[in-house]
Amino acid sequence: MDSERITLLDGKRILLGVTGSIACYKAVDLASKLTQLGVQVDVIMTEAAQQFVTPLTFQAVTGRPVYTSMWTSGGGSLPTHVAHVGLAESADLLIVAPATANTLAKLAHGLADDLLAITALATTAPILISPAMDGHMYASLAVQENLAILQGRGVTLIEPETGRFASGLVGVGRFPETPKLIGAIRHRLGRSGALKGKNLVITAGGTREPLDPVRFITNRSSGKQGYALAQAAADAGAEVMLISAARGLTAPYGVQVIPVESAYQMQQTVLTHQAGADALIMAAAVADFRPRTISDQKIKKTSGNDPLTLHLEKNPDILLSVKERRRDLHRPRVVVGFAAESEDLIAHAREKLERKGLDLLVANDITAKDAGFDVDTNRVVILDARGGQEALELASKAHVAEHIIQRVAQLLGQ
Ligand code: C5P
């Protein structure tokens, strides 16, 4: 993850409650990454946590005082109050990570005998918990019942991972890596965003058109812009389905991914979900052609110098098939297409917007080295159905995605 600021997180105040699990050392990384992303991180440590990591470590990575005792004053935006009130009042979110069985029990039963427990009672901000403990402990009825109580009160559980513990045992209870924790925080903070309650279908990646069991034809699309769009849509509170032909990218937290290979599979999946979508963003680079026949066996290299002739046939145009069904379904309400062009960018893009019946078309010039396929930045022009044209400066794909999502939210709000 790069440390570029994220609009949703920038300037937010997050309370990080750290409790006494060996996974404490990973919470240092979480505190550090959140700080780099522009978050004001106030750390509260339990006494047991301080056996593993010192407050100074968190202070060094957050640049802020670390709170360890409920008998001190100051904290958050109310410096004259006792710490827990100041911290609780000013927080946008409280995440307890790692959360031990002991702290989960305190939170579930309303105990108020340390600064973290008392702050959790005092805050009205959303609470996330990321349990970390040995597998049998995590599976114990006591822990599971406490988790059920907390979830019943609206606390968000970040499911622990399966894997090997410091003890050598294997099971469910491992503390997740930082990107997943930050994903969960984004997902919770975004819940009340501009796309709250909206379903977005987003496609990503370059399709693969098989020739035989081992070969396929594809293109240079990495899927990065599509994944950035999925993250931006989730940040804005949407339910996101990502129909992905991309490889090796991690899906944003809370986003449902449907992997596909070919243009045909992508088309079938898009059409299946068309009626449920408020908006469709076709960021995928769909292959225009596919091999006419797919050989069951690997195509052999013949002796001699005979060339191999491939016969290609046209793939269905997914956006055109969506347009056709949209006449009856009236859904999705908003459809966004992409155009990658190497010449006459705007003229081709305008023609495409009209022919495919789009609300927005995002055009990029693929001849520029810093934009388009595979790189992390993009330079696009957004055309709309009313003849409008908006050129964005060179920016990260994350920022381009945020902007496109804002435009989609505006259209859905009209
Ligand atoms: O016509 P062209 O391929 O340039 O159009 C690009 C846009 O159309 C993209 O949004 C792409 O995802 C979509 N597309 C499609 N079906 C195809 C080819 C492209 O929906 N067969």
| pLDDT tens readout for residues 355-396 | 999 999 999 888 777 776 778 888 999 999 999 999 999 999
Q: Please write the tens of the pLDDT for every residue from 346-359.
A: 999 999 999 999 99
Whether residue 108 has pLDDT greater than 50: yes
Answer whether 174's CB lies under 8 Å from 161's CB.
yes
- 219 annotated active-site: yes
Can you tell me which residue has the tokens 């114990």?
A: 140
Answer whether 413's CB lies under 8 Å from 391's CB.
no
244 CB less than 6 Å from ligand 1?
no
Q: How far is the CA of 282 from the centre of ligand 1 (A)?
A: 7
339 CB less than 6 Å from ligand 1?
yes
* CA count, 13 A, side-chain hemisphere, 224: 17
Q: Please write the tens of the pLDDT for every residue from 12-21.
A: 999 999 999 9
Distances (CA, A) of 147 to 117, 143, 154, 155, 306: 15, 6, 11, 9, 67
Answer whether 369's CB lies under 8 Å from 394's CB.
no
Widest pairwise Cα distance in the chain = 88
315 CB less than 6 Å from ligand 1?
yes
Sign of CA dihedral 97, 100, 101, 107: negative
Between CA 252 and CA 268 the distance in angstroms is 23
- Length in residues, the chain: 414
Whether residue 226 has pLDDT greater than 70: yes
Q: How far is the CA of 328 from the centre of ligand 1 (A)?
A: 22
Q: Please write the tens of the pLDDT for every residue from 114-158.
A: 999 999 999 999 999 999 999 999 999 999 999 999 999 999 999
**Residue with the nearest Cα to atom 6 of ligand 1?**
339
Tokens of 317: 């145009």
Structure confidence at residue 230 (pLDDT): 98
Q: Which of 54-68, 165-179, 223-237 has the lowest mean pLDDT?
A: 165-179
Whether residue 1 has pLDDT greater than 70: no
Q: Please write the tens of the pLDDT for every residue from 196-213.
A: 999 999 999 999 999 999
Q: Please write the tens of the pLDDT for every residue from 278-337.
A: 999 999 999 999 999 999 999 988 767 788 899 999 999 999 999 999 999 999 999 999
Mutate-to-test residue for ligand 1 from 282, 354, 382, 404, highest number of ligand atoms within 8 A of CB: 282
Query: 386 CB contacts (<8 Å, ≥6 apart)?
Result: none
Q: Which of 102, 146, 199, 219 is catalytic?
A: 219
156 CB less than 6 Å from ligand 1?
no
Q: Which domains does the chain have, with CATH numbers?
A: 13-190 (3.40.50.1950), 194-296+308-413 (3.40.50.10300)
103 CB less than 6 Å from ligand 1?
no
Q: How far is the CA of 327 from the centre of ligand 1 (A)?
A: 19
* Residue in 285, 271, 311 with CA at minimum distance from that of residue 208: 285
Mutate-to-test residue for ligand 1 from 267, 317, 346, highest number of ligand atoms within 8 A of CB: 317
Answer whether 116's CB lies under 8 Å from 103's CB.
yes
Quick check: bond before 55 cis, omega within 30? no
345 CB less than 6 Å from ligand 1?
no
Q: How far is the CA of 223 from the centre of ligand 1 (A)?
A: 14
- Specify the ligand 1 atom closest to the Cα of 348: 4
